[in-house]
C-alpha cells in the first residue's frame, strides 16, 4: 500500500510541475502583467535618442534603431508612430497612438476597461498621470495603453504584443514626459 501512495504522490508532483512549466510557456507568449522594471536593458539609456513634440507638450526617448514620427493632424488630434523592422520579420516592433486633445469623459476609465482582457489590466502613473494598460480582446491582438492626461486621452497600442515588445513598450513609456504647451 505505501508503494501505491508513493506512486500516486509522485504522479501528482509530476502533474503539478508539468502544469507550472506549460503555464510559463503559455504566459511567455503574452505580455506579462505589470511590466515596469527599470532594469530592462535596451542599451545604455543615455544613448537613447530623445524626441520632443512641442505642439502637444510631449517628450520621449527610444533606442536609436527605432523610427519615430509624430504629427498634429488637427487642433484636437496628434498621432505618434514608433517602429522597427517590418511585418512579419522577427525584429518587427510598432507602437502607435492617438492623442485626443480635449476633455475626457468622467466614465472613460470604465469604458476602456471593457475592451481589455480583465486578467491583463494594470494601472500605474506615467509622468504623473493615471494609466490603464492591458491586452485588447478584439480580433487584433495588441497591448493597449491609455494615458489620462490633463489635456486629453492618449491611446497607444503595441502590435504583436510579445513579451519582448511589451518590455520595450514599457521602457519607452517610462521616458514619457508631458510639459506645458506654448
User: Where are the chain's structural domains?
Assistant: 1-30, 45-178
Distance CA 19, CA 36 (A): 27
Q: Which three cell numbers stand for residue 156?
A: 497607444
Could you please state the CATH topology (level 3) that the domain comprising 45-178 is classified under: Protein Transport Mog1p; Chain A (3.40.1000)
110 three-class SS: helix
The pTM for the full model equals 0.75
**In sequence order, which residues have a C-beta less than 8 Å from that of residue 13 and are 6 or more positions away?**
none
How does DSSP classify residue 65?
Answer: T
Q: Which three cell numbers stand for residue 135?
A: 491586452
CB 62 within 8 A of CB 178: no
Tens-of-pLDDT digits for all 182 residues of the chain?
A: 577 777 676 667 676 665 545 444 444 334 334 433 333 457 777 789 999 999 999 999 999 999 999 999 999 999 999 999 888 788 889 999 999 999 888 788 888 998 899 999 999 999 999 999 999 877 778 999 999 999 999 999 998 888 899 999 999 999 999 999 87
Location of C-alpha cell 505618434: 80
CB 145 within 8 A of CB 123: no
Amino acid at each position: 500500500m505505501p508503494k501505491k501512495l508513493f506512486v500516486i504522490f509522485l504522479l501528482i508532483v509530476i502533474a503539478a510541475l508539468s502544469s507550472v512549466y506549460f503555464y510559463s510557456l503559455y504566459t511567455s507568449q503574452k505580455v506579462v502583467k505589470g511590466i515596469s522594471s527599470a532594469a530592462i536593458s535596451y542599451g545604455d539609456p543615455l544613448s537613447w535618442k530623445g524626441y520632443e513634440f512641442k505642439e502637444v507638450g510631449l517628450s520621449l526617448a527610444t533606442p536609436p534603431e527605432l523610427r519615430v514620427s509624430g504629427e498634429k493632424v488637427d487642433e484636437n488630434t496628434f498621432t505618434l508612430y514608433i517602429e522597427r523592422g517590418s511585418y512579419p520579420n522577427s525584429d518587427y516592433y510598432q507602437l502607435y497612438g492617438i492623442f485626443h486633445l480635449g476633455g475626457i469623459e468622467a466614465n472613460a476609465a470604465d469604458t476602456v476597461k471593457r475592451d481589455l482582457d480583465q486578467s491583463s489590466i494594470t494601472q500605474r502613473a506615467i509622468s504623473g498621470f493615471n494609466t490603464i494598460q492591458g491586452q485588447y480582446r478584439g480580433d487584433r491582438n495588441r497591448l493597449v495603453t491609455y494615458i489620462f492626461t490633463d489635456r486629453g486621452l492618449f491611446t497607444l497600442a503595441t502590435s504583436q504584443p510579445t513579451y519582448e515588445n511589451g518590455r520595450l513598450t514599457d521602457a519607452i513609456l517610462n521616458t514619457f514626459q508631458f510639459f506645458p504647451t506654448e
